[in-house]
Structure 1
């Protein structure tokens, strides 16, 4: 993964990759702040992963939090929008920061990863955002098809819960 560079000392440009890994510079004034919350749900030794329609990588349900929302509230809303599931938000276990461009617009991304719990159910997958939604046994987790920040968050969650 290409790491983005923070703004230059003059604060005029930000270098960041887009979802396809193409790197370019953007005027710092165009960069929007994007806090996001993601839920890591372990149940009976399996973890719920979602496959992004945009990156085709496996990650976690969740997404951008609105300016008026607390992180846990935004996570509950995003999780329900993407999966149909109502979850209880637990411990914050990992954070990640990067600069990335979505569809030609640059963002300063702060991601907060929480443990979540709920009742496993039939999913109502958000087809406009997700290609797939699946429970993975720990031995079959697609580590290589996840971005480094998500791999680290998943490892931290497993360590915290003493899963492996």
Structure 2
């Protein structure tokens, strides 16, 4: 088996990350996850590996994290995301896709539906209403997604995001 190489650059105290995430919807809800030691949530996904496309990354991550094969839909956002986390300044290039999750993956409108030990993190997944109010209350960066969740872009949008602020320049 070939060695896996994630696309990340560690330049202490800064770090670059190439992350792919998916927005999966069911019954007016969107799937989110978090590491149990963190207060915030995020959309499921992970770091790309050298030699794989962003769609391949999303498919691989969902098999690893959810145990299901997803169908990757349109690319919604390409985000240059700059933020501070765990005492580091991060520069993240994020691709956010719409994805279809198989119907046999568990659904419940309020409860945790899936748990997973992933490296040093315990992850939990749940469905949350796909509304601006619900995502804002949940604390799910990057925050512009909460603002746009009810009217997803019809074509791919490129955004630059600085620690919670959209750069409109």
The two structures share one fold, judged by TM-score above 0.5: yes
Q: Classify 1:124/1:147 alpha carbon distance in 2 versus 1 (closer, same or farther; 3 Å).
A: closer
Correspondence for 2:137 among 144, 147, 153:
144
Correspondence for 1:74 among 44, 57, 60:
57
Q: Classify 1:132/1:98 alpha carbon distance in 2 versus 1 (closer, same or farther; 3 Å).
A: same
- 1:93 Cα deviation from its structure 2 partner: 0.9
Q: Tell me the equivalent position of 1:47.
A: 30
Correspondence for 1:92 among 66, 71, 75:
75
Q: Classify 1:48/1:130 alpha carbon distance in 2 versus 1 (closer, same or farther; 3 Å).
A: farther
In the alignment, structure 2 segments of 5+ residues that lack a partner are: 1-9, 107-112, 155-169
Larger Rg: 1
In the alignment, structure 1 segments of 5+ residues that lack a partner are: 1-27
- Distance across 2 between alignment mates of 1:63 and 1:156: 22
Q: Is contact 1:92–1:112 with CA below 8 Å preserved after alignment?
A: yes
Correspondence for 1:160 among 152, 159, 168:
152
Q: Tell me the equivalent position of 1:9.
A: none
Q: State the TM-score, normalized to the length of structure 2.
A: 0.64
- Distance across 2 between alignment mates of 1:161 and 1:85: 26
Q: Secondary structure at the match of 1:41?
A: strand
Deviates further, 36-45 or 118-127 = 118-127
- 1:58 Cα deviation from its structure 2 partner: 1.5
Q: Tell me the equivalent position of 1:61.
A: 44
Count of residue pairs the alignment pairs up: 134
Q: Classify 1:138/1:102 alpha carbon distance in 2 versus 1 (closer, same or farther; 3 Å).
A: closer
Structure richer in helix, relative to its length: 1
Q: Is contact 2:114–2:125 with CA below 8 Å preserved after alignment?
A: no
Note the 1:128-143 alignment, pairs <5 A.
128=118, 129-138=121-130, 141-143=134-136
Q: State the TM-score, normalized to the length of structure 1.
A: 0.65
